[in-house]
Structure 1
Amino acid sequence: MRVMKWSMIALAVSAGTTQFAMASSQDDAKGFVEDSTLTSKTRMLYMNRDFRNGAGNIAKPGGGFKSGYREDWGLSELLNYQSGFTQGTIGVGVDAFAMGTVRLDGGAGRQGNGLFATKSDGSPEDTQSKIGGAVKFRLSDTVLKYGNQFVASPVFSTDDSRLLPEVATGTLITSKEIKGLELSAGRFTALSSQTGMARDSINGPGQPGLTAANIAGATYQFTDNFVGGVAASDVDDYFKKQYINLNYTLPIADSQALNFDFNGYRTSSQGQELAGDVDNKIWSLAAAYSLGAHKFTIAHQRSTGDSAYYYGVDGGGTIFLANSVQYSDFNAKDEQSWQGRYDLNMASYGVPGLSFMARYVRGDNISTNNGEGKEHEFDFETKYVLQEGPAKDLSFRLRSAIYRTTSNNGNDVNDVRVIAEYPLNIL
C-alpha cells in the first residue's frame, strides 16, 4: 500500500514536469511573511437534546439523575495562522492554531451533548484550550505537511460539529501537478476529540485510541460537470476501508440543473478488531433538481453486511453519505433509508443571506435482536448571513431535529441547536 501511494505521487510529479508543465504554485511564492494569513472564528452554540423516553440519564452531583434532558451553551474561539512558503525550489512554511472554549451554561445534571469535557467530580469543564502547529514543504504543486492539522478526507475526516474541531497528528501529502487531478497520501498516529485536549483522546480515558491510520486518495475532474474520487484507509488493529464518489451535474437551462451524487464505502475489520467484527458495505445515491431559488432532493441509502457502518476512531466526520443528517446516520446493520429534502434560497426574493431547509428521512429493515427496527427523522434549518457592514459574514443558524425509533433502546430525541458564528480575516 505504501509503495502504491508514493508511486502515484511520483507519477504526478513526473507528469507535471513534462507535457503538463506549467507555472506552479511554488514559482509564484511571494515569501513566508508576504503570503501569510491569520483568521479567527468565533462560535456560540446552544444545544439541547430531550430524550423523550428518559434514555441516556445523566448523573447529578450528590446523587440522582436528570431524566434524559441535556442542555449546554458555550463559546469558542479558533485562531488559525498559515504562513506563506519561502521562495526557491522547495518552499518551507508553518501552520499554527490556538483554540479554546468557555462554558456559558450547562451543569452536571444536564451535560452530555459533547460540548465540554467532564471533570473528576462529574461537572463539565468551565474552560478548555489547546494550541498546535505543523511544518509544511512545497515542491512545485505538491505539499507535504507534518504535525497537527485538520483533515477532510472521506476515509479520515476531523469533525467540527460542536464548539471545537477534532485535531489529527501526522503527515499528509497533497499533489496537484496535473490539471484536474488531486492525489493525497498520509499517515496519522493520533487524534484528539472535540472536547479532549490531549494529543490522542478520540475514544476517551482508558479506551484504545487511534493506533495508526494510513490513507490515500485521488480525485479527478473529468469534465466541468463530472468529478470522481476514490480513497482507502488502513487503520491498524481496527479496519480497512475503501470509498468511491461520482458526482455529475446536468445543466438544463440558465436556472435549472440536475445533480447526481453517489457515495459508497466498504469496511472490513483487521488485527485485534478493536472496533469489533466489522463487515459492512454502504452506499447512497442522491438526485437534486435546482430551479432558481428552489432545490428538491431525493436520496436512497442502503447498508449490507454482518455489521453496521463503523467510524469515529478515524474521525467523527468520516461518513460522506447522503442520509447522514443532524442526529442519525441511518447506517445500521441491513438498513435501507429514503430522504426527501427541500432547500430555499431567499436571495431570489430580495433577502440575500437567508436560507431554509427541511428534510425527512425514514429507515427500516434494521437487523436487531428483537426483529426489524425502524427509525425516522424530520429536520428543519434556517440560516442568515449578514451581507455587508462591520459584521459582514456574521451568521445565525437554527437547527431542529425530531427523531423517533423502534430500535436503539427507544431513544426518541428532540434535538435543537442555535449557532452564531463570526469568521474574520485578520491578515
Structure 2
Amino acid sequence: MRVMKWSMIALAVTAGTSQLALASAQDDSKGFVEDSTLNLKLRALYMNRDYKHGAGNPTAGSDKGYREDTGLGAQMFYESGFTQGTIGAGVDAMGFGSVRLDGGTGRRSNGLFAADDEGNLEHSQTKGGAAVKFRFSNTVLKYGQQIVASPVFATDDGRLLPEVATGTSITSNEIDNLTLNIGRFTSMSAQTGMGRDSLGLTSADIAGATYAFTKNFTGTVAASDVEDYWKRQYVNLNYTLPIDDLQSLNFDFNAYRTKSQGEDLGGDVDNKIWSTAVAYSLGAHKFTLGYQRSTGDTGYAYGVDGGGTVFLNNSVQYSDFVGAEEKSWQVRYDLNMATYGVPGLSFMTRYITGDNIEASNGEEGKEHEWDFETKYVVQQGPIKDMSFRLRSAIYRANNAYDADYGPSNNDLRFIVEYPLSIM
C-alpha cells in the first residue's frame, strides 16, 4: 500500500504540472460582503434501537431493551467572501442548537442529547464557533472551528448536531485537477458535546491529495498522525465506465493501514483493511456487489479523530464490519423513481454478512445486517428541497461477537430535513 500511495502522489504531481494553472479565484473576489452566504438546515430526528435476546440498554444502565429519542436540530452556517487584493481575508461562523421532544432517562443513549451528572438528558443544547480564513490565488488557509471531511479525519453529522474540529487547514487547487489538503487539529467537539474538546483528541496532523486522471477516474491518498493514538494511511481509486446513455459500471477501492503509537491511548492497534465494490447502473436501477477484508492483530479503530473517519464500502447504518480478521460481503440495490414519473423518490436495500472475526473470547465472531431506506425530496413549492427519510437496520451478531461490537438490535430512524438559503 505504501508503494502505491507514493506512486500515486508522484503521478498526480507529474500529470498536474503538465496542465495550465487554474485562473486565480482570488482575482475574481467580489468582496467580503458581496460573496457572503448564510444557510440554515433544520432537522427533525426520531431514533429507536430495540435490543434482542434479552439485552438491556447497555449505555443507560437500564433493563429495558430499547433506546428511543426524538429531537429538533438547527445548523446555521455563515461564510463571508474574501476581501479584494492579493491576499483576501474572510470569516466563517456556525451556530447549532437542539431541543429534545422525547426520550426518558431509561431510554437514552442514541447519541442525540448529552446527559447531566445524574444521567438525565438535557432538554436543549447550543454551541457555535468561528474561523478566520485567508486566500492567495487558489489556496485557502483557515483557522478555528471547522467541519472536516478527510478520509483520515472526518467530523460526524449522523445525529442532530455535528462534531466540530478546532485547528488549522490549508486547501490548495493551484494545479488543474489536483486538490491538496493539509491540517493540524487540536480538539474535537462531540455531537452531544457543547465544549470545544469532548472526545479526548490530543492533536492530529493530516495531509491528503486527490487527483482527477480523467473525468471518470479519480485517486485519493491521505495520511494522519494522531498524537498518542495512531498513525494512519489511506488510498482510494474510483473509476466509472460508461457503457451507453443508460448503463455504466463503477469500480471503487478503499484501503487503510492503522498502527498505534506513543501512549497507545486508543489501545494497541495494528490493522490493515480494504474494501472494493462494483456497481452496475441500468436506468433507474443500480446493483452493487462489495467485499471487505480486515487483517492484523486488531480491528479498525477510529473515533477520537472523528466519527466519520471510516470511508469503507461496508460501513453501513449500524455496523462497520471492521472486526479483527473479518471478511464481509455486501449486495445492494438502489431504485430512482424519477424514471417512473416520481422525481425525488428513491429506495435502497442492502445485505451485509461478515465472518472469520477473531472475537475476544477466542471463538469465531459472525455478524450480519439488512438495511432498508426510502427518501423523498420535495421538488417544488414553498417547501422545495425538504426531505423525508426512513432508515431501518436489522443487525444480528452471534454470541462470540455480541459483547465485542454491540448487542443484536433493530435500528429505526425517521429524518426530516429542510435546507434554507437565506442569503
Question: So what's the TM-score if we normalise by structure 1?
Answer: 0.93
Whether the 8 Å contact between 1:59 and 1:108 is mirrored in structure 2 is: no
SS at match of 1:327: coil
Say if 2:211 is the partner of 1:214.
no
Look up the match of 1:294.
285
Listed one character per residue, the Cα deviations across residues 224-264 of structure 1 (whole Å, up to 9, x for unaligned) are: 11000100000000000000000000000101000000000
SS of equivalent residue, structure 1 residue 112: coil
Asked whether the 8 Å contact 2:375–2:390 carries over to 1, the reply is: yes
2:98 to 90, 101, 106: 101
Matches within 5 A, 1:221-236: 221-236=212-227
Moved over 6 A (4+): none
* C-alpha separation in 1, matches of 2:128 and 2:310: 27
Does the 8 A contact of 1:58 with 1:109 survive in 2? Answer: no
Residue 326 of structure 2, aligned match among 318, 327, 335: 335
How far apart, in 1, do the equivalents of 2:374 and 2:284 lie?
15
Aligned to 1:38: 38
Amino acid at match of 1:408: D
Shift of 1:131: 1.3
Question: 2:157 maps to what in 1?
Answer: 160
2:420 aligned with 1:408, yes or no?
no
Identity across the alignment (%): 69
- The answer to whether the 8 A contact 2:62-2:107 is kept is no
Structure 1 position 59, deviation (Å): 8.1
CA distance in 2, matches of 1:274, 1:423: 39
Match of 2:230 in 1: 239
SS at match of 2:214: coil
Question: How many Å apart are 1:56 and its aligned residue?
Answer: 4.7
Cα distance, 1:284–1:172 mapped onto 2, change above 3 Å: same
Rounded Cα–Cα distance in structure 1 between residues aligned with 2:109 and 2:24: 48
Of residues 368, 371, 379, the one that matches 1:379 is 371
What SS does the aligned partner of 1:253 have?
coil
- Residue equivalent to 2:114: 117
Q: Secondary structure at the match of 1:347?
A: helix
Q: 1:421 aligns with which of 414, 417, 421?
A: 417
Q: Name the aligned partner's letter for residue 393 of structure 1.
A: D
Flag structure 2 segments of 5+ consecutive residues without an equivalent.
1-8
2:139 to 122, 139, 142: 142
| Maintained 8 Å contact 1:58/1:111 | no
Other-structure match for 1:3: none
Q: Distance in 2 between matches of 1:345 and 1:22?
A: 36
Q: How big is the shift at 1:388?
A: 0.4
1:62-81 correspondence to structure 2 within 5 Å: 65-81=62-78
Q: How is 1:5-84 mapped onto 2 (pairs within 5 angstroms)? A: 20-57=20-57, 65-84=62-81
What's the secondary structure of 2:338's corresponding residue? helix
Distance apart, 1:53 and its partner CA:
2.5
- 2:195 is the counterpart of 1:195: no
Once the 2 structures are TM-superposed, how far is the Cα of residue 19 of structure 1 from its aligned partner?
6.9
**In 2: Cα distance, 1:43 partner to 1:57 partner:** 25
> What is the letter of the counterpart of residue 390 of structure 2?
L
**Partner of 1:361: helix, strand, or coil?**
strand
- Deviation of residue 23 (structure 1)? 2.1
> CA 1:398 to 1:19, structure 2 compared with 1: closer, same or farther past 3 Å?
closer
What is the distance in 1 between the residues matched to 2:226 and 2:259?
Answer: 10
User: Secondary structure of the equivalent of 2:184?
Assistant: strand
Secondary structure of 1:109's aligned partner? helix
Q: Is the 8 A contact 2:44 2:71 kept in 1?
A: yes
1:22 Cα deviation after fit: 4.2
Q: Residues 66 and 110 of structure 1 are in contact (CA less than 8 Å); yes or no, is this contact kept in structure 2?
A: no
Count matched residues.
Answer: 406
Aligned twin of 1:89: 86
